[in-house]
Structure 1
Amino acid sequence: MNTLFEPDIDLSIFKPYTIDCSKCCGLCCVALYFSKIDGFPDNKNAGIPCNHLQHDYKCKIHSALSKQRLKGCMAYDCFGAGQQITSHLTEPPNWKALSPKEAKTIFDSFSTVMQVHQVLWYLTIASTLGLEKSEKEQISLLLNQGKELTSQSLEIIQNMDIKSFREKSSLVLRKICLNIADKFSNHGKSDSNPNYMGRNFKQKNLIGKDFSMSLLIAANLEEANLLGANFLGADMRDTNIKNTDLSHSLFLTQIQINAAKGNENTVLPPYLYVPISWQH
């Protein structure tokens, strides 16, 4: 088995869940709580604009994030929720003049859409796999349901209960993960204690390895064989993936890649991009 994916994937299906700051009004820099200890410029309460956010919604220190080692800013990704919410707004917001009610509607909707888009990202990856017809149909139904949820007005999205959608999606994704793990025999089985912090897996055969929801902080995966390895929800902060082929690994997100340590020889799936921090 040298691939799990369907041939000729249409990469445009990932675009709605891929961050595009040029089409966003700086939502992440306003809506979220920041902490210096987590790699952000300052301590900041949710709902307060970052001091470095300019009137055109661009970051004043964006080009210096890597130099200043602001890992929180560099790793963050909203799964395209920022541009989705911005597209609902009739005019660019003045964050300092916005009424508390208006701000709450926008921020709550942003949080909801981000959660839905994260699930849609995983479902979109699943849709590219060589699955059974029944699994494909389940994925398609959930994708349509998620898109319908986020296409409504902000007033509806703000108070939307997405628990059922997330639970149904989680069950389908988990079943898919287990089925794929079975194809790799013993390689795909998860450990009872998925804590791999600092573990050295350099050049190891990790075909089909189930790393889902595991701690991979500062683990070494350099040159490991990660064909079919499942990274759904894994914490990959400072994980060494230099000189590593991840092109056929499963359920990776841009946040994980941004937080990891790679280089020009790291091979990513075609729907992910190389972080600027790797180029320094």
Structure 2
Amino acid sequence: MPDEIAGLPELRGDCARCFGLCCVALPFARSADFALNKPAGKPCPNLQGDHRCGIHADLRQKGFTGCTVYDCFGAGQKVSQVTFGGQDWRTGPKERARRMSDVFPVVRQLHELLWYLTEALGLPAARPVHPQLRSALEETERLTLQSPEELAALDVAAHRQQVNVLLLRTSELARAGAGGGKGGKGGKKAAGKDRRGADLVGARLRGAQLRGASLRGACLIAADLTGADLRDADMIGADLRDADLSDADLTGAFFLTQPQVNSARGSTGTRLPASVTRPVHWTSGR
């Protein structure tokens, strides 16, 4: 995995240092992903007194697949241990619990941006914009350290938009060598490689040659990507729920997160970038 991400464990969820905030702050509706309805700010009935999930080992079997694909990018422990100084929402006033529920989704978005910016700094091809990326990373980290009141009032969408300009440029630079970026090999954009925001629900893409493609925000729900070449592809925001990545090659794919991989299907033959790990359910069937 890139040294930058490997050296930042704070961008990976650590439930042992969190007060179960994702199980409290976030809402979910009864569906194929969740077995019941839960409003924002109300603890999940499966959350135990020690902030651990009572059915963690059986979440998929009990209808909580959505929980198994979620990751807070380390926002849970940041809010629990830094923003609120280790103060538990269970033992404090109701106002604290409400404020923690308000702040957690904000910090989660900021930590996701930190993940992308950190990964971008690990891409040699993006060296021309490394100074701007470092500045954006430092500013994003500074925002995560604000008071609960400041975080609750933060315009995260505006900050994301600013960062996205840099991430788009990073994508162009990183994909150019594979023929998928702006002005790639031969000075031309590879034909059919711009799938940004494409509706590819259930698409038959078995063996597709998508090296260096932009799949930013593409909807690939239940798409068949068996054996597809996704090397050096930009995967930011791509919806991979139930997509079949069996034997696909994602070597060098960037801006691919663990939640995306967890939501997909794969095999022992699927090749993944080192920044993510192979989900247990790909081989266990659970």
* SS of equivalent residue, structure 2 residue 31: helix
Deviation at 1:117, TM superposition (A): 1.0
Bigger relative CO (Cα 8 Å, ≥ 6 apart): 1
Matched, 1:84 2:83: no
Query: Contact 2:253 / 2:273 at 8 angstroms: preserved in 1?
Result: yes
Partners of 1:276 and 1:145 in 2: CA distance: 35
Q: Residue 153 of structure 1 aligns with which residue?
A: 147
CA deviations 1:75-132 (Å, max 9, x no partner) are 111111111111123445253x643321222112111111111111111111111135
Alignment match, 2:10: 16
The residue correspondences of 1:62-81 to structure 2 (distance < 5 A) are: 62-81=56-75
Aligned to 2:96: 102
Shift of 1:134: 3.5
Deviation at 1:273, TM superposition (A): 1.7
- Cross-structure match for 2:234: 230
Q: CA shift at 1:61, angstroms? A: 0.3
Aligned 8 A contact 1:112 1:158 in 2: yes
Task: Decide whether the 8 Å contact of 1:207 with 1:229 is kept in 2.
Answer: yes
Whether the aligned pair in 1 keeps the contact of 2:197 and 2:217 (CA below 8 Å) is no
Deviations 1:6-65 (A, max 9, x none): x96344344222112122110000111122215123211111111110011110000001
CA distance in 1, matches of 2:142, 2:9: 17
Q: Please list every run of 5 or more consecutive structure 1 residues that lacks an aligned counterpart in the other structure.
A: 1-6
Q: CA RMSD in A?
A: 2.1
Q: Aligned with 2:282: secondary structure? A: helix
User: Do 2:203 and 2:222's aligned partners in 1 also have CA atoms closer than 8 Å?
Assistant: yes
- The structure-2 alpha-carbon separation of the partners of 1:135 and 1:29, relative to structure 1 and needing over 3 Å to count, comes to same
CA distance, structure 2, for counterparts of residue 60 and residue 266 of structure 1: 31
Q: Distance in 2 between matches of 1:193 and 1:153?
A: 35
Report deviation, 1:66.
2.5
1:236–1:256 Cα contact (<8 Å) kept: yes
- In 1, the alpha carbon distance for the partners of 2:42 and 2:238 equals 30
Task: Give 1:251 shift.
Answer: 0.9
Task: Return the TM-score normalized by structure 2.
Answer: 0.87
The answer to whether residue 88 in structure 2 is matched with residue 93 in structure 1 is yes
- Which residue identity does 2:95 align to in structure 1? K
Within the candidate set 129, 134, 145, 1:135 is matched to 129
Q: What amino acid sits opposite 2:202 in the alignment?
A: G
Residue 5 of structure 2 contacts residue 118 of structure 2 at CA under 8 Å; is this kept in 1? no
Distance (whole Å) between structure 2 residues aligned to residue 218 and residue 249 of structure 1: 19
Is the aligned partner of 1:35 residue 2:29?
yes
Pick aligned residue for 1:247 from 245, 251, 256: 251
Residue 178 of structure 2 corresponds to: none
Equivalent residue, structure 1, for 2:38? 44
Distance verdict in 2 for CA 1:38–1:158, change over 3 Å: farther
In structure 2, relative to structure 1, the CA distance for the partners of 1:133 and 1:209 (3 Å cut) is closer
In structure 2, C-alpha distance between the alignment counterparts of 1:193 and 1:161, rounded to whole Å: 24
Paired with 1:215 and 1:132, the residues of 2 have a C-alpha distance of 26
For 1:36, what is the secondary structure of its paired residue? coil
- Structure 2, unpaired ranges of 5+: 176-180
> Runs of 4+ in structure 1 displaced over 4 angstroms?
none
Equivalent residue for 1:4?
none
State the AA in 1 paired with 2:146: Q
Asked if the contact 1:188/1:210 (under 8 Å) is kept, the reply is no
Q: What percent identity do the matched residue pairs reach?
A: 33
